[in-house]
Amino acid sequence: MNKRKVQLQAGTARWRFYTVFGVISLVFCALLARAAYIQVISPDMLREQGDMRTHRTLSDTVLRGMITDRNGLELAISVPVNTVWADPKQIAQSKSLEKTREWRALADILRVDLNELTERVASNPNGRFVYLARQVSPAMADYVRHLKLPGVHLRPESKRYYPAAEVNAHLVGITNIDDIGIDGIEKLYNDALTGEEGKKSILRDAKGRIIEVLAEEESQQAKDVVLSIDQRIQTLAYQELKKAVQYYEADSGSVVAVDIESGELLAMVNSPSYNPNNRKTITAAAMRNRAITDTFEPGSSVKPLTVLAALEFGSVNANTIVNTAPGWLQIGGRRVSDSGQNHGKLTLDGVLKKSSNVGTTKLALELPTEQFLDVFYNAGFGSDTGTGLLGESSGIFYDRRRWSDFERATLSFGYGLSVTATQLAQAYATIGNGGIRRPLSILKLEQPLPGERVFSHSSSRQLLKMMEAVLDEDGSGHRAAVEGYRVAGKTGTSRKAVAGGYGNDYVGLFAGLAPISNPKLALVVLINNPKGDKYHGGEVAAPVFSKVMGGALQILNVPTDKNDDLQLAQVKEAQNDA
């Protein structure tokens, strides 16, 4: 009995031994298989998790570059702000939402509904990031910081600020909430203005201390963009234009100023404008830079080109007489008239001074068609001005083989083509530059871009002196006169086209340059659809031209060339003619 009991105990012991040995063997094999799997087959996952605990990538914030005017005045700058964000998982774990008083205070300072705010962080309790507010002010950020809500954090970023606001809005443009340019110069030169953030890969220990720098990339600082705009002239032009648009209840208006010698744009403004610092009020229509996008028939403002064509290719000279009697002309069953007036016999400067449609028609019809059209092409109509600005229109100038006499007649006084205010400014700058057309530049230049001679110097100078008569007391543009300066210019009044013909809306223009003795500045003023009895360019646009041109010449310290300085100016003018 005892022997059997001993044998039974011995069998039980062996069974237990084998069982324990088998279990230990299985555990060992499982551990060995797991180790092999981790070390050989799939080591990346744990390595990645380890890196997540110790490996960090730090970024150096690079502020967006500034946009300045030619004198270094800031037009667009980036200011440091903060973004408020939340970690929903941390909020859930810390039961942060139970602090109702602090969350109510946070909702009040961020100006959002409390229920909407808490729903945003509670809807995904396992999430790790959600925006609560973008680009908050430093005062708001300090308030959020003092609330000390678990799971609510601040992150530094930058916000674009435009000191001159609506004055430069159409030209400078705007960025979106992520500081990426979406319009104007901000978009055109976005890559240069953005730069690249620096990156540093580090290892941290359990206490968060940096123990090793694995890799480092240097940041590339953003570049500043220096515009050709003179903010003093820009502001003056905008103020005068805005007053005129409001006074005449016009739909809109534009002013463009060009440095004749270099082709740099010194001013480009539109009214109405918008405030880029308040995105809530911005509409797509308000953002349109009308000075380069909107086209119009220039009317009488291109009559100087017809006279120039006659001087270049015709048999006329400064003393030629054109008989405009009886004040109208029949062409192929249609009539060209001088608005019921009979100016009789006119010299070429008289044709411009009285703005005679009959006079320019007779000059145009005596010219070979191709040479007449070339003057308009050479002035830059039908092509871009070279600014590179986004959305710039090339206007409309038909390139067809056959032109009727009536079509050439209407072209001679500014119908049958469409141009932008910037194109017209370039054409006048070309005349003032002695017939050399330069591409326009929106960037400040160290030296002028290469130009192309498109008109003769002598014809351009003769035309300037003829255009001066337009500003005589009995001329159509006498309201554009500038005290102390000799000014050349031309009024323009064109009816706006509608389906089937022309309506009763008008565009009032004045384009000119000064001083005649040594031209420095070309200026175009456009008033679109003024209401009331006054709608002619000489009435609505010429006074704005006078104020802006006069102020700009003083800002640029351009010497006067009239009255007391007339003799000196005449000597300089003779040198220029030579």
For 451, 481, 482, the CA distances from 573, given in Å and listed in that order, are 22, 19, 18
Q: Give dist(CA 289, CA 294) in Å, integer.
A: 8
What are the structure tokens assigned to 374, written together?
């070339």
| Position with higher pLDDT, 562 vs 306 | 306
Structure confidence at residue 125 as a pLDDT band (50, 70, 90) = confident
* Cβ atoms of residues 525 and 241 within 8 Å: yes
What separation in angstroms does the CA of 25 have from each of 20, 38, 514, 534?
Answer: 8, 20, 102, 105
Half-sphere exposure of residue 384, counting CA atoms within 13 Å on the CB side? 11
CA distances from 337 to 148, 227, 361, 413, 490 (A): 80, 45, 10, 11, 19
CA distance linking residue 311 with residue 324, whole number of Å = 18
CA atoms of 82 and 139, how far apart (whole Å): 10
- The number of residues making up the chain comes to 578
Q: How far is CA 139 from CA 143, 144, 145, in A?
A: 6, 9, 10
Tokens 């208006």 belong to which residue?
253
Does residue 21 register a pLDDT over 80?
no
Long-range CB pairs of 34-43, under 8 A, 24+ apart, other chains included? none
Full set of structural domains in the chain with CATH: 58-65+79-161+202-224 (3.90.1310.10), 231-276+290-577 (3.40.710.10)
Strand 55-60 relative to strand 67-68, pairing: unpaired
Overall average pLDDT of the 295-315 stretch? 93
Asked whether the beta carbons of 236 and 255 are under 8 A apart, the reply is no
Q: How far apart are CA 86 and CA 127, in angstroms?
A: 9
Inter-CA distances, 400 with 382, 392, 403, 411, 427, Å = 13, 23, 7, 13, 22
Token code pair at residue 459: 């014809």
> What's the CA gap between 440 and 507, in Å, rounded?
24
| Contacts of residue 238, Cβ cutoff 8 Å, sequence gap at least 6 | 166, 167, 255, 269, 271, 273
Of 144-153, 229-238, 370-379, 508-517, the poorest mean pLDDT is in 144-153
Task: Give the model's pLDDT for residue 360.
Answer: 94
Q: What is the pLDDT of residues 33-60, one digit of tens each?
A: 777 776 666 666 556 655 555 555 555 5
Given the residues 300, 301, 355, 476, the one annotated as active site: 300
- Identity of residue 22: G
Q: Which two tokens stand for residue 558?
A: 């351009």
Q: What is residue 264's DSSP assignment? A: B
In contact, 534 and 454? CB cutoff 8 Å: no
Mean pLDDT across 521-526: 97
User: Is the per-residue pLDDT at 31 higher than 90?
Assistant: no
Helix, strand, or coil (residue 218): coil
Q: What does the mean pLDDT of the chain come to?
A: 86
- Tell me what pLDDT residue 304 has: 95
Inter-CA distances, 476 with 85, 306, 492, 509, 538, Å: 64, 18, 9, 12, 6
Mean pLDDT for 437-459 is 94
Q: Is position 262 annotated as part of the catalytic site?
A: no
Mutual orientation of helices 405-412 and 357-365 as an angle, nearest 10°?
A: 130
Greater confidence (552 vs 283) lies with: 552
Q: b/e per residue, 493-503, with b = 16+ CB within 10 A? A: bbbeeeeeeee
pLDDT digits (tens, 9 = 90+) for 398-447: 877 788 999 999 999 999 999 999 999 999 999 999 999 999 999 999 99
From 524, 500, 499, select the one nearest 511 (Cα to Cα).
Answer: 524
Query: Residue 350: helix, strand or coil by DSSP?
Result: helix
Query: How far apart, in whole angstroms, are the C-alpha atoms of residue 264 and residue 49?
Result: 58
Residue 7's pLDDT is: 62
Q: Which amino acid does the sequence have at 138?
A: P
* Contact present, 449 and 263 (Cβ < 8 Å): yes
Q: Which residues contact 436 (CB under 8 A, 6 or more apart)?
A: 430, 451, 452, 453, 454
Residues 529, 210 contacting (CB under 8 angstroms) = no
Binned at pLDDT 50, 70 and 90, residue 93 comes out as confident
> Do 181 and 190 contact (CB within 8 A), yes or no?
yes
pLDDT at 300: 93
Kindly list the distances between the CA atom of residue 286 and the CA atoms of 34, 116, 165, 242, 278, in Å, as whole numbers in the listed order. Answer: 66, 32, 13, 14, 13
DSSP letter for each residue of 432-493 = HTTSEE---BSB--SSPPP-EE-S-HHHHHHHHHHHHGGGSTTSTTGGG--TTS--EEEEEE
Residue 532 has a CB neighbour count (10 Å cut-off) of: 11
Say if residue 576's pLDDT is above 60.
no
* Degrees to nearest 5, angle at CA 439 with 433 and 441: 105
Q: Which residues contact 41 (CB under 8 A, 6 or more apart)?
A: none
